[in-house]
Structures are given as structure tokens and as C-alpha cells.
């Protein structure tokens, strides 16, 4: 099985092209991940190497997951399509995931291209040439609207080069108070119309727990577009477990649910874990126990 949603974490070094804002450097999430993963925040090279070693080892030990799409994270771009470092909280460079995949064939490169960057099409071509399998975006944090028609050229290139489009859906907690509407999966229609394989992250859940306003849209997109999928990443987290419960009651859509973890986030068992501590296997176990066993493998999607 392939994990379609696995994050690379990397601190900026002089050469790796990554960014981390002062705000994020101080944030509780950064420290929590560093602490949980045993990473030295004051030594970027060592922290980056250790993160990849630990991820490779955990994936290598998994009984159920053999490959993982390793995700980069692009930044925010200004109106002229240039990187706006002042608005970018963190950036994980595409070359980091491309290089990691070269070093370990269990990783598939999931690059990140903000469609509003001026060289978006060229970057998609370059990454496809280097073996990328998908483009990950987070519209709320990257400050763009995926439904803008000026992005059609990029979507056409992605369809042509077999790059899937994995988009975060719903509320983004690090952006409270900003425009959240670009997290609506209905805004992915243009990419779907251009024939791109679109994957909405986290089962289309908002992450707000109380109600799932995008479930109707999800059903409609599944019915209308054979190239629309959702991933099951993060669905065992407390704020998304309501969506896990709802999706498990839609067995008719099983063939559109792609397995994902949202590594390195923890996997909660909800009383149904089988006691395995490997995060990939735990996610498989918990999803299966809730009636959502992985049904389609990203590696087997029509291309």
C-alpha cells in the first residue's frame, strides 16, 4: 500500500532552499514535532538527516505500507508571481523531496507548486522530469484560489505529465481570522475538468469537528468526476474523527478513498488499535477497524 500523504520536515540550511519564519520557529507545533521526533532545532543539518532516517526506518518496518509520497510545501507568492518571504511561514523545497526519493526508492516525490508563481508550468515540467508523482498545495496557507482560470495552463501540464493534485481541504488552524473559503473542494473543479487526478486531503473534512459542510460537495464531485479522490490522512485526529465516522458509512465510495497518514502527526486509536506502534500500521489498523480498509492504492490509479 502507498501512503499518499506523508510530510517531509526540513529546517533551512545554507543550501537546501527551505524557509522557516521567526513566528513558526517559536511556535508550539514546531517544538512539539521537534520534541516528539527527537530533533535538535539548533542543528539544521543534523535535524533534517535524523528526520529522514527515522521516517525511512519506520516506513521500512511497516507491515502494510511499502511506499510513501513525501510532500514538499511551497510558500506565498506576490501579485507578480515572486516568492513573498515575509508572508511565508515555512517552505520545504521541491529538491528536498526529489533528493530524498533518489536516496530511498520507498519515497515518491510529492512536490509543491503554488499555482500563482510565475514559473509554475516550468517547475511542474522540471519536477515531472525528475520523477515527481504529485503536486501538493495548501490554498489557505499559500494564499491562492485554485479555481482561478489563469491556472488552467498549469493544470493542463499536470494532466499531460501525470502529476496528481493533492489539495488541503477545509479550515487551516494556523490561519485563524484569514480567508478560509479557498479550502472549499468545489474550487478544484477546473483541475478536474482539465483531466488532473485530484485528491482532496483529509476526507474533505473541515477539521472543525462539529459539522462537515463539504460532504455534499464531496459526493457531488465523486459522482461527476471519475478522476476525483479523497485521502484518509489525519482522520484519526480528534478534530477529524467525526469525518472518519461519516465516511465509514459510505462504503459505496470506498474506491475513491486513498490511504494517507499525515505523518508525522500521531495516530489515535479510539479504543480500536491493535497495539502496533508503527504509525503507518496503526493508521491502517484504525481505518480498517472503522470499516475504511484501504481499497485503492495510489500506485494503481489510472494514468
Output the smallest distance, CB 71 to Zn ion, in A.
7
Contacts to Zn ion from residues 51-70, by CB under 5 A: none
Number of residues that bind Zn ion (CB under 5 A): 1
Query: Which are the contacts of 240, defined by CB distance < 8 A and separation ≥ 6?
Result: 202, 203, 205, 207, 209, 234
- For residue 243, give the nearest of 200, 188, 186, 298 by alpha carbon: 200
Q: DSSP letter string over 96-147?
A: HHHHHHHH-TTEEEEE---TTSTTHHHHHHHHHHTT--EEEE-HHHHT--TT
CB 218 → Zn ion: shortest distance, Å?
A: 18
Stretch that binds Zn ion, among 21-29, 115-123, 186-194, 260-268 (CB under 5 A): 260-268
Answer yes or no whether residue 74 interacts with Zn ion by CB under 5 A: no
- Write b or e for each residue in 161-200: b if 16 or more Cβ atoms lie within 10 A of its Cβ, otherwise e: eebbbbbbbbebeeeeeeebebbbbebbbbbbebebbbbb
CB-based closest residue to Zn ion: 262
Cβ neighbours of 72 (radius 10 Å): 27
Q: Where does this chain touch Zn ion (CB under 5 A) — which range of 98-106, 129-137, 255-263, 282-290?
A: 255-263
Judged by CB under 5 A, does residue 172 bind Zn ion?
no
The site string for Zn ion over 129-168 (x = CB under 5 A, - otherwise) reads ----------------------------------------
Q: Are 231 and 262 in contact (CB under 8 A)?
A: no
Query: Given the rule CB under 5 A, which of 117-125, 204-212, 251-259, 261-269 is the region that contacts Zn ion?
Result: 261-269
Q: Does 262 bind Zn ion (CB under 5 A)?
A: yes
139, 130, 127: which is closest to 180 by C-alpha? 139
Q: Quick one: 157 or 232, whose CB is closer to Zn ion?
A: 232
In the complex with Zn ion, the residue whose CB is nearer, 11 or 70, is: 70
- The residues of the shown chain that bind Zn ion, judged by CB under 5 A, are 262
Amino acid at each position: 500500500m502507498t501512503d499518499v500523504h506523508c510530510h517531509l520536515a526540513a529546517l533551512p540550511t545554507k543550501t537546501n532552499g527551505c524557509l522557516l519564519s521567526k513566528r513558526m520557529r517559536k511556535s508550539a507545533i514546531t517544538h512539539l514535532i521537534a520534541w516528539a521526533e527527537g530533533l535538535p532545532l539548533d542543528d539544521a543539518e543534523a535535524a533534517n538527516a535524523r528526520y529522514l532516517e527515522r521516517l525511512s526506518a519506520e516506513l521500512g518496518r511497516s507491515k502494510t505500507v511499502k511506499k510513501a509520497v513525501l510532500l514538499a510545501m511551497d510558500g506565498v507568492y506576490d501579485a507578480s508571481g515572486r516568492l513573498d518571504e515575509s508572508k511565508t511561514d515555512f517552505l520545504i523545497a521541491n529538491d528536498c523531496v526529489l533528493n530524498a526519493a533518489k536516496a530511498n526508492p520507498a519515497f515518491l516525490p510529492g512536490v509543491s507548486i503554488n499555482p500563482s508563481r510565475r514559473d509554475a508550468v516550468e517547475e511542474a515540467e522540471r519536477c515531472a522530469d525528475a520523477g515527481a508523482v504529485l503536486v501538493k498545495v495548501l490554498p489557505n496557507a499559500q494564499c491562492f484560489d485554485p479555481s482561478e482560470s489563469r491556472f488552467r495552463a498549469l493544470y493542463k501540464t499536470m494532466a499531460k505529465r501525470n502529476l496528481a493534485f493533492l489539495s488541503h481541504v477545509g479550515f487551516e488552524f494556523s490561519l485563524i481570522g484569514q480567508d478560509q473559503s479557498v479550502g472549499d473542494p468545489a474550487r478544484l473543479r477546473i483541475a478536474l475538468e482539465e483531466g488532473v487526478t485530484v485528491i482532496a486531503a483529509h476526507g474533505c473534512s473541515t477539521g472543525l469537528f462539529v459539522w462537515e459542510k463539504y460532504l455534499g460537495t464531496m459526493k457531488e464531485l465523486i459522482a461527476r468526476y471519475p478522476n476525483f479522490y479523497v485521502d484518509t490522512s489525519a482522520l484519526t485526529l480528534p478534530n477529524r474523527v467525526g469525518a472518519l465516522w461519516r465516511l465509514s458509512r459510505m462504503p459505496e465510495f470506498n474506491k475513491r478513498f486513498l490511504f494517507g497518514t499525515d505523518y508525522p502527526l500521531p495516530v489515535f486509536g479510539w479504543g480500536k488499535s491493535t497495539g502496533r506502534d508503527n504509525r503507518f500500521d496503526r493508521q491502517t489498523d484504525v481505518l480498517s477497524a472503522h470499516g475504511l480498509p484501504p481499497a485503492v492504492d495510489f500506485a494503481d490509479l489510472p494514468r
